[in-house]
């Protein structure tokens, strides 16, 4: 399956189902099992993630929204008139609306997302709510080298938007690679980036171990999705949600922990789990303001203003892209 949303834009075959199958085989065959967190986000997983964002314990979403609201005017002044907003991932319509509402006469919106369905929805919503805005969705994996549709930009700057601390899902080397790609795509413009901050491990722990068990359901949905789409026979009661702060690595790790010795089948192959053995499903790296700015500088950006909340939970960075 391949999506071509712009006639002059070529998108490689993304074949999400084949990738999931191949990645699951690779994960199950590896000595330390791990799989990309991008597979959390089927329809059910996206719903559960939206529910996570509303949790009392999960501070990032509401903190970032309040930073965007509180600093909208400064951000708009930095962006200038007729900016082209390029969003990496099309997840957060609420957030990009705050940005679009603040900007002076934004020219266009280019959401980049691996899910064509997600994109189509986001694009349709924004087109009807912002009649003057040119919306150019791009179906692509933004962790891969990327080319944007030409000629969508008017006189304004190209402003990248990467909220939610999604950058925390990357390893440091992947984050650097992403930022280098973004610097190239945004040349002469800027990147508005949200990054979660290092803090009291108890606060971090609570955010990924909520009392209502929504994060656990989100994590376990990966196995349910594999059963639905790949025909695995994961026993959902046989695995527990595990999330802890790895302090030397400054990251939350999420795992699915086998509650007993058991077997799982995939395409006629049998994989054994020992009691306590895990499938590592996500890293969520935390940053200091300085570590994020240093990383951005290494990728060629010039770090500009940074906004944080009074409790220093979350940070929003203005990063100027090299000319």
Supply the minimum distance, in Å, between the C-beta of residue 163 and ligand AVJ: 9
Supply the minimum distance, in Å, between the C-beta of residue 200 and ligand AVJ: 16
Supply the minimum distance, in Å, between the C-beta of residue 72 and ligand AVJ: 22
Please report the sign of the dihedral spanned by the C-alpha atoms of residue 124, residue 130, residue 131, residue 134. negative
Supply the minimum distance, in Å, between the C-beta of residue 98 and ligand AVJ: 17
Contact 250, 286 (CB under 8 A): yes
Which one, 160 or 168, has the nearer CB to ligand AVJ? 168
Which one, 106 or 163, has the nearer CB to ligand AVJ? 163
Report CA-CA distances (Å) from 182 to 11, 174, 175: 18, 12, 10
Cβ-proximal residue to ligand AVJ, closest one: 284
Q: Rule CB under 6 A: which residues touch ligand AVJ? A: 52, 60, 164-166, 168-169, 208, 215, 282, 284
Which one, 191 or 320, has the nearer CB to ligand AVJ? 191
Which one, 169 or 278, has the nearer CB to ligand AVJ? 169
Report CA-CA distances (Å) from 124 to 119, 131, 133, 144, 294: 8, 11, 12, 25, 37
Q: Which phi and psi (to 5°) does residue 190 adopt?
A: -155, 165
Other beta carbons less than 10 A from residue 275's beta carbon? 10
Supply the minimum distance, in Å, between the C-beta of residue 309 and ligand AVJ: 16
SS3 19: helix
Which one, 6 or 291, has the nearer CB to ligand AVJ? 291
**What angle do the packed helices 43-53 and 214-230 form, to 10 degrees?**
170
């Amino acid at each position: 399956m391949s999506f071509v949303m712009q006639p002059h834009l070529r998108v490689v075959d993304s074949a999400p189902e084949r990738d999931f199958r191949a990645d699951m085989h690779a994960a199950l065959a590896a000595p330390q099992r791990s799989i990309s967190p991008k597979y959390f986000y089927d329809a059910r997983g996206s719903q559960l993630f939206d529910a996570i964002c509303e949790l009392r314990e999960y501070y990032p979403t509401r903190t970032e929204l309040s930073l965007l609201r509180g600093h909208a005017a400064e951000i708009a002044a930095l962006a200038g008139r007729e900016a082209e907003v390029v969003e990496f991932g099309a997840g957060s319509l609420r957030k990009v609306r705050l940005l679009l509402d603040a900007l002076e006469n934004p020219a266009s919106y280019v959401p980049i997302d691996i899910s064509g369905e997600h994109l189509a929805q986001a694009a349709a919503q924004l087109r009807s709510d912002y009649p003057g805005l040119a919306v150019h969705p791009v179906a692509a994996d933004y962790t891969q080298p990327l080319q944007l549709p030409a000629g969508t930009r008017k006189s304004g700057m190209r402003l990248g938007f990467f909220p939610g601390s999604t950058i925390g899902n990357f390893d440091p080397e992947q984050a650097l690679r992403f930022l280098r790609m973004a610097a190239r795509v945004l040349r002469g413009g800027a990147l508005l980036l949200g990054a979660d901050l290092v803090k009291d491990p108890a606060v971090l722990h609570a955010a990924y171990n909520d009392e209502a068990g929504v994060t656990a359901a989100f994590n376990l949905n990966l196995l349910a999705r594999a059963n639905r789409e790949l025909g695995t026979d994961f026993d959902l009661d046989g695995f527990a949600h595990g999330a802890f702060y790895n302090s030397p690595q400054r990251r939350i790790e999420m795992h699915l922990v086998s509650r007993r010795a058991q077997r799982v089948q995939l395409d006629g192959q049998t994989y054994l789990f020992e009691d306590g053995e895990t499938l590592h499903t996500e890293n969520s790296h935390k940053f200091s303001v300085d570590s994020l700015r240093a990383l951005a500088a290494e990728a060629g950006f010039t770090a500009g203003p940074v906004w944080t909340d009074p409790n220093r939970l979350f940070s929003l960075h203005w990063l100027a892209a090299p000319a």
